[in-house]
Each structure stands twice: as structure tokens, then as C-alpha cells.
Amino acid sequence: VCLLSKEREAFLGRSDLNSNGSLMVAGTEAIEWMLRVIAHYGFTFMTTLLAVNYFDRFKSSLCLQRENPWMSQSAAVACLSLAAKVEETQVPLLLDLQIRFYIYYFTCNVDESKYLFDAKTTQRMELLVLSTLGWNMNPVTSLSFIDHIIRRLGFKTHLRLEFLQRC
Amino acid sequence: MDYLIDTMDNKYEQLETIGRGNFGEVYKCRDREKNTFASMKRILFRYQDDGVPGSVIRGVALLKELDHPNIISLLDVLDDEKWVDLVFEYLEMDLWRFMGTYPRIGKDPNLTKSFLYQILSDSYRILHRNLKPRNIMVDVDKKIVKIADYGLARPVDAPVAFTYQVLSPGYKAPELLIDAKYSTPVDIWSVGCIFAEMVTHHPLFNGQCEHTAIMEMFSLLGVPNVETWPGVTSLGINLSNPEALVSGVRRSLSDVVKGLEPTGIDLLAQMLCLNPCRRITARDALIHAYFRNA
């Protein structure tokens, strides 16, 4: 019961996001970028899940200046950086993430999207994301349910870990 | 980015500094609206290139999830470009000062029982590693204790001059002292030490270094052997000459912790079991006979 109510909190305002087309497009682009960087660094699935979760929650709970790709991309950098810090043991510097970001857009020839944020700006964005999400950085996700169910099934710890790794 | 300009100066009035550590500073402050006190821990960001430190993100997220009457609660998080301020509920007294200030009330057996119960009821949720009277806050009026030992919630990192106190092994479980693998039983050990101290108002173990601390433990609780602690011989203590590992006159727990009822001594002995695998768990301790007539 506790998990369910927490999950609802974590996904509040989804419908809001869907109703705005341009926001959706900007979001998709940003998430695509996040996935590429994640693949490049070999981050875990949990990091991906968190980064996308932060991004979704951030976009839906904040009245972003609509159609502001700068904001959207800056938020994507911040969300990914936050997720990596929560989940990964080795986290690249903010600027390294940035360079990936830059190269991605450069190779895609998307002229208008070439933003490079300095560490200070990204840190500000991180703080904005953190406070917008109320610092709740361990949301209940589908994985939490799977984990809970496996625990209930009474698997041994190493089996559980193995199972989660395959998810 | 106007929305990032902090508003803390309006909401909280900063009063005196109550602690200082390598993370930043702790202030006492007043909530202007509610007219209540709070303690504010300011954590500075050292390395600007990394953005908000991962330890801060994880620490605050963890504190946000904890909601227990016996845990100091995080009331507010305020951010700035160069730091975050964590606002915690404010309690003036820690258990160490409480015992010094109220020698009589502090020794009331029912109060000891109540405090122990409260500490145990929270402690199995998280691995603390460093429980001690200074990290347990006391609400004197309500007779409530609250653990303030959750990484970032630790009220005061001891200043450099007192490092010996931080490193003081007085509340550390034997497996921590000998660098063996450890888990939540280390907290039960610490709570056991605190339990004894609440009864006598004297630390159970004073060891200034790890070696003397181990000797004190063995003198009181006996030298472990392969039967009482399977695998102990591989942990790096030389047990071939047990006599060398004890000092002074052998005394029993009931001699040392005078005035504690027999069920309490039994519980204490189970909490101070040298072998972490056989040490009582918090869950079992809470249903021990000692608490039955509370």
C-alpha cells in the first residue's frame, strides 16, 4: 500500500505533459540525449530510470517557460548528472557530460540546439531540479515493485541481485 | 534565474553558531513565522566543477524518507549557489549532557527503560555505526529521545581538537575494532553500551585506543574462543594466550552495572555478545522480558 501511494506521488502530473505537444518534443529529444550519454558511459539501468523519472517529474511539476529548448536541455543535463550521482560509483565531471552533449548535437546538425552549459549553470539547474522534486530522489519505480515481489518470494540475496541486474 | 535567490534570511533568523565541522557550520535559528527554534546545518560546496555533491544529494534524499518519532526530523532544505542549508528540529540537550545535568532524574529506572525502548525501536532501520550519547538528543519535557546520527543529520562533527573523542572506541563493537566485516549488530552493541551508561552514568568502556578497548571488553565479557565465536581465530587477534588479553580483576556485568534489574542485565548481556552473529537483534530486544512491565 505504501509503495502504491508513493508511486502515485512520483508520477503526478503525467497527463499534463502529454497535453502539450512542443513540450513533448523537447522532452523526447532531451531523453534521447540522456540515453546516448548513458550508453556511452555504461551507466546502469537504474540510472536511466532515475534520470528519466527526474526529468518527467521536473517538467510536469514546474511551469517551465514553454517552448524553451535551452531549459529543456539544461534540465536533461542536470537530471542525468543527479541520477548518476545517486546511483553510480564513478561519476564524470559536469563538463564531460556536457561535451558528450555538445558532440551529440553537433553530429546531428541540429544548429539551434548547440548549448554548452558551464558547471555553475548546471549546478544551479541541479539545485532547481532538487528543490522542485522536494529532494525526493529515490522514487518508487517499477523496479521497486519487482524488488518487493522478489523479496516476498523469498529468493536468496544473490539471486535477487542477479534478477535485478537482468531487468 | 531570480527564482534561485534564496529566501532563508526572511524565513529564519540566524542566531548563534552551535557547531563547526569540515562540512561547514551549524547555527541555531528562529523560524520567524512559527516562532520556534531550529538548527541549521550549512553544507558548503567545495568543488564547483562537480555541481551539487553526490553525498549531499543522497544524504538529503535519505533524510526525506525517514519519518519516525525517534529521529531528528529534517524540516526544510534551502539552497544557494554555494551551499545548502538543512533545517532540523532543534533540541537543546543531548543524552550525554542530560546525564550530567540531571543526575537524579536521569537514573530513574523507568526513564532508562523508556529511552532504551525508543532508541531500539528506531535503530534497526539504518546502519549508524557511530551511536553514542552525544548523537542522541533528548526532549526533556516530553521525555523523548531522538537519534541525530544520520550522516548529514549528525548535529556536530567534533572539532579537530576533540578528534580523540570521535575515534574513541568506547561505543564501538568488537568487530569494528578488529576490522572484521560488520553490519547492523554494531549498532546493538553501541546501544548496549549506552544502556549501561544510562544506568550508571559512567561510560562502560573507556578504552583510549583499540587495543585497550578490546582488553576491557574481554576482561568484562570473557575472551572469545572458537566455540563462542566460530571463525574468531581468523580475524587477526592472537588468542593463543588468553591471559594476555585481559587486565585487572574479572568482574561480571551485574558488578559493573549496579542497580539494574536482573532482566535488564540479561538483555544487556545479549546486546553485548562479542560474536555479532549471536548478538540479539533490535526486534528481539524490543520483546525482551525487561520491557514487559514497562
pLDDT tens digits, residue range B275-284? 998 999 999 9
| Option in A126, A136, A138 nearest B51 (CB) | A126
Q: Averaging pLDDT over each range in B71-75, B113-117, B126-130, B174-178, which range is the top one?
A: B113-117
Q: Cβ of B201 under 8 Å from any chain A Cβ?
A: no
pLDDT of residue B160: 35
What is the pLDDT confidence band of residue B267, given thresholds at 50, 70 and 90? very high
| Option in A81, A119, A138 nearest B61 (CB) | A138
pLDDT tens digits, residue range B79-130? 887 888 888 888 888 899 999 999 888 889 999 999 999 999 876 566 777 7
* Chain B CA closest to residue A127: B79
pLDDT tens digits, residue range B30-42? 988 888 899 888 8
Q: Side chain identity at A134, as an amino acid letter?
A: G
B207, B173 contact by CB (below 8 A): no
Same domain, B218 and B83: no
| Stretch A33-60: mean pLDDT | 85
DSSP annotation string for A25-60? HHHHHHHHHHHHHHHHHT--HHHHHHHHHHHHHHHH
Which of B58, B89, B120 corresponds to the end of one domain? B89
Which residue has better confidence, A127 or B240?
A127
Alpha carbons A91 and A167: distance in angstroms, whole number: 22
Same domain, B182 and B54: no
Picking from A61, A127, A131, A140 by the largest number of B CB atoms within 10 A of its own CB, the best residue to mutate is A127
ipTM over 0.90: no
Same domain, B254 and B144: yes
Q: Within 13 Å, how many C-alpha atoms sit on residue A20's CB side?
A: 16
Determine which of A41-45, A106-110, B80-84, B91-95 has the lowest per-residue pLDDT on average.
A106-110
What is the pLDDT confidence band of residue A25, given thresholds at 50, 70 and 90? low
pLDDT of residue A112: 46
Domain count for chain B: 2
CATH of the domain at B22: 3.30.200.20
Q: Which phi and psi (to 5°) does residue B272 adopt? A: -100, 35
Q: Cβ of B140 under 8 Å from any chain A Cβ?
A: no
What is the pLDDT confidence band of residue B168, given thresholds at 50, 70 and 90? low
> What domain range is B19 assigned to?
3-89
Alpha carbons B174 and B214: distance in angstroms, whole number: 7
Q: Using DSSP bridges, classify how beta strands B144-147 and B93-94 pair: parallel, antiparallel or unpaired.
A: unpaired
Whether B49 and A94 lie within 8 Å, measured CB to CB: yes
Which of B34, B67, B89 corresponds to the end of one domain? B89
Picking from B11, B52, B83, B150 by the largest number of A CB atoms within 10 A of its own CB, the best residue to mutate is B52
